[in-house]
Amino acid sequence: MKTAIISDIHSNLASLNSVYADIKKQGAERIFCLGDIVGYGPNPCECIDILMKTEVCLLGNHDQGALFDPEGFNSGAERAIFWTRDQLEKPTGNPDAIDRRWEFLGERPRNYQENDLLFVHGSPRNPLNEYVFPEDTYNRRKMEKIFALIKRCSFQGHTHVPGIFTEDFRFFSPDEIDDRYTIGDEKLMVNVGSVGQPRDGDPRSCYVILEDDVINFRRVEYDIDETIERIYAVPELDNFLADRLRDGR
């Protein structure tokens, strides 16, 4: 069975639509979302409506920020979350749709386990907020504690930097493994990258197709200018949130 694993959409409808088209082309039978549907981008309501239909959708820290109060966010991210909340509460919207979106966000779990595969937004140790960066491979104590919580393989997002972490403290970017890795006996952490705001220097959307034990990283081009113009049109969203999309930062 092919499963598409996506994360960090961040209200980028153009990227989400392009990724969904690629998922369909790949013949994936299920879609798992690892959170951060909203935040940063211009189309939170539309993205939530699409992701309501996924088989699994987890809570991300920006989703939680929209539900409650953003904690530890920089000023641009905080303003984006407050604007996002206003969009979700718009009195001119359909009352039933407003309620459905809030209910959907409020019911999102923080993790999902399927046999020996774990799915989280941040990390197995802190599913919502912990970042695991490639340079953390030099922090043996941190990595050992996280890997102790993994049965076989963990899939996560949050950093927007795709790649494979191995139990022997190595990190492989998708380019280093030709976008393909087979799960073996060793424990793994897999960062699936970001659909809506990549930060590895490649502006294309990134997600993973999992088929049996084979992990395939997918890069998808989308109309970046469309999202940029939509962000520019919203005074409450910093232009920086648009400009960074061109550089994948």
**CATH, residue 110:** 3.60.21.10
Give the residue carrying structure tokens 């890997």: 147
Range of the domain at 18: 2-247
Stretch 191-211: mean pLDDT: 97
Distance CA 218, CA 184 (A): 21
Could you read off the pLDDT of 172-200 as tens digits, one per residue?
A: 999 999 999 999 999 999 999 999 999 99
At residue 71, the pLDDT reads 77
Stretch 230-249: mean pLDDT: 95
The reported pTM is 0.96
At residue 90, the pLDDT reads 81
How open is the CA angle 66-160-144, to the nearest 5 degrees? 105
Tokens read off for 175? 């380019």
Number of domain units in the chain: 1
